[in-house]
Amino acid sequence: MPGAEFDWEYEMINFEEELKKFQPSTEVDDIKEDIYNRSATDVAGVFEQMFAKKEETVEEE
Amino acid sequence: MVMVCYQCGCHLSEQDYCTSCGADVSLYKKILSLSNFYYNEGLEKARVRDLTGAIECLEQSLKYFSRNVEARNLLGLVYYEIGECTEAMSEWILSMNVEPKKNIASDYMQRIQNNPTRYDAMQQSMKKFNQALEYCRQGSKDLAVIQLKKVLSLSPRFVKAHLLLALLHIDNEDWEKARRELNKALSVDRGNTQALRYLSEVEKMLTPDDIERNEKRRKKEDSVRYQSDNELIIQPGNLVEGTRSGFSMVLNIVIGMILGAAVMYFLVFPSNQKITQEEANKNVQSISEQLDSKTNQIQQLQNQITTLENAKQQLESELDAYEGTQGRLKEMDQLFVAASVYLETKDVNQTAQKLDQVRENVKLEEQSEEFLSLYQTLLGLVGPELSKSYREQGYVSLRAEDYDAAIESFTKAVYYDSNNAEALLNLGDAYRLKDDSVNAIAAYNKLVELFPDTDYALKAGNWLGRLDGMED
């Protein structure tokens, strides 16, 4: 807004808010758990499942 | 990336169907192509060190086709480059799971495992970073800074650590340090949006265009800051010297002096007086305690004097008893003299004289057992002969009708030998002849009592009968 005083505090980086964006790094000891927790679903996998179901339906018919 | 049929696993050609099994692979090929496209994008970005962008593309690629080994390996490499070692290892492990053979991921893993120092540094840097993050959340920012510096000494390319350290510097308004950290982060990951955002804020604080803006903030904090070379100088606002007129300066000096004098008068002097008074009170208290102590000592000494005086008097009285003319030492001496006379001369009369002196001067009932024993021994030695002598003297006196002398001699004879019944009979006779019937009866009765079946007792009995008849 022309003529309005610049809101300096609003412009500044808020430490607390920024800190929330930092997440703890996975430690080496927890690597196994990290791998297991990952979602292995991909689009190609979905496609394969869809095709497999379709094949089954055709065979049944 | 080599495309294979999802149904039979054969290599796909340019056709939209599998040349081996005939399956429709048009859509499948599009999916794989998209995955490949994002991989290529990621690769391009990684080459220009836009690692954040590369990560986004590669993750997208893997969302389309998770078995894209190249994309996964590259993602692991990018993670490794920005210091996210565990993320990198996770990607490589997954990659090895998809393609166990001829996979560069296994080479990467082997290199890490063959370097225990590096592996340990990775572990430590992860732990220390998490610890630093915890410190930040607890508000221990200084500790967090120290911890992050340790992390970066172990893993200098750890972008997340650089960013957190920069954030802490920003929070501390240490703009130059923040900029340095952000530049380090950006030298690793040129496209890190977080770093770029922080840097833009920091640059605003450090560029001359924003001095006016900064002034507002500085005034709020009542301080002055300015850039000198690479150093940010912070000067408290109250030290800023404005242009003041000479009059106001003099007025301020005068007011200051008055205030100083007032402070001295109201605060310093009473304080000093109070201190002096407290010291005096302490001295008085100390002297009073000393006085009490001395008084107690005097009292104790007086008690000791009293006790000692009592003891002295007792000892003096005992000493008088021993050393006086009537004292026990004298008595002992008299007895020793008697014993000495008998032992040296065997003279019964001289011994008797000394024993008489003892008997006259000494209260036998008050003497010690040893004294009495010696006395009785001497008396036993000289007694019978002496008794016989006194009886003879008494008998002479009785014949001469000197009854008093006779009574005295017979009394001594009885004293020195209580078995001398004849002397006792003569004593009764002497009293009787002196017309002292009371003592005469007493002597005769004693004789009858002590020597009942003797001639002396018979005679005494006769005289007792007569004297009783005379009295009646």
* Nearest-angstrom CA–CA distance, B51 and B42: 8
Interface confidence (ipTM) of the complex: 0.73
Say if the Cβ atoms of A28 and B32 lie within 8 Å.
no
**Mean pLDDT (whole number) for B207-235:** 59
Whole-number pLDDT of residue B328: 63
Is B86:A30 a contact under the CB 8 Å cutoff?
A: yes
Backbone angles phi, psi at B30, to 5 degrees: -65, -40
Say if the Cβ atoms of A26 and B90 lie within 8 Å.
yes
Whole-number pLDDT of residue B232: 61
Residues pairing with B439 in the sheet: none
- What's the gap in Å between the CA of B242 and the closest CA on chain A? 26
Cα–Cα distance list, B175 to A19, B14, B165, B237, B241 (Å): 18, 57, 12, 20, 26
Say if the Cβ atoms of B160 and A22 lie within 8 Å.
yes
Backbone angles phi, psi at A34, to 5 degrees: -60, -40
What is the b/e burial string over B118-142, where b = at least 16 CB atoms within 10 angstroms of the residue's CB? eeebbbebbbbbbbbbebbeeeebe
| B431 touches A at CB < 8 Å | no
Cα–Cα distance list, B329 to B325, B362, B379, B466 (Å): 9, 11, 20, 50
Average pLDDT over chain B reads 85
The string of pLDDT tens digits covering residues B117-142 is 888 888 899 999 999 999 999 999 99
**Could you give the 3-state DSSP secondary structure of residue B448?**
helix
Which of B62, B67, B133 shows the shortest C-beta gap to A24? B133
Where is B235: in which H helix or E strand?
strand B231-236
* Nearest-angstrom CA–CA distance, B193 and B184: 14
Say if the Cβ atoms of A28 and B129 lie within 8 Å.
no
Which of A12, A34, A38 shows the shortest C-beta gap to B201? A12
Taking only residues 106 to 145 of chain B, the set having a beta carbon closer than 8 angstroms to any beta carbon of chain A reads 119, 122-123, 126-127, 129-130, 133, 136-137
Q: Which alpha helices (H) appear in B14-68, and where do they start and end?
A: 26-47, 51-64
Residues pairing with B231 in the sheet: B228
The string of pLDDT tens digits covering residues B77-101 is 999 999 998 899 999 999 999 889 8
Is B405:B433 a contact under the CB 8 Å cutoff?
A: no
Identify the residue among B86, B89, B141, B220 best suited for mutation to test binding to A, counting A beta carbons within 10 A and taking the highest. Answer: B86
Average pLDDT over chain A reads 76
* Nearest-angstrom CA–CA distance, B339 and B327: 19
Q: Give chain A's end-to-end CA distance (angstroms, integer).
A: 69
| A44 touches B at CB < 8 Å | yes
Confidence band (pLDDT; 50, 70, 90) for B237? low
**Could you give the 3-state DSSP secondary structure of residue B185?**
helix
Is B164:A22 a contact under the CB 8 Å cutoff?
A: yes
Lowest mean pLDDT among A4-8, B172-176, B177-181, B307-311: A4-8
- What's the gap in Å between the CA of A1 and the closest CA on chain B? 17
Identify the residue among B89, B192, B199 best suited for mutation to test binding to A, counting A beta carbons within 10 A and taking the highest. Answer: B89
* Nearest-angstrom CA–CA distance, B317 and B290: 40
Where is B223: in which H helix or E strand?
strand B223-228
**Which residue type is seen at B17?**
Y
DSSP B225: E
Structure tokens at B344: 């040296």
For residue B264, give every residue at least 6 positions away whose Cβ sits within 8 Å of its Cβ, in sequence order, or none.
none
Whole-number pLDDT of residue B472: 56
Whole-number pLDDT of residue A51: 78
* Nearest-angstrom CA–CA distance, B45 and B54: 5
DSSP B365: G
CA B235 to chain centre: 49
Lowest mean pLDDT among B224-233, B275-284, B459-468: B224-233
Which of A13, A24, A45 shows the shortest C-beta gap to B66? A45
Is B234:B223 a contact under the CB 8 Å cutoff?
A: yes
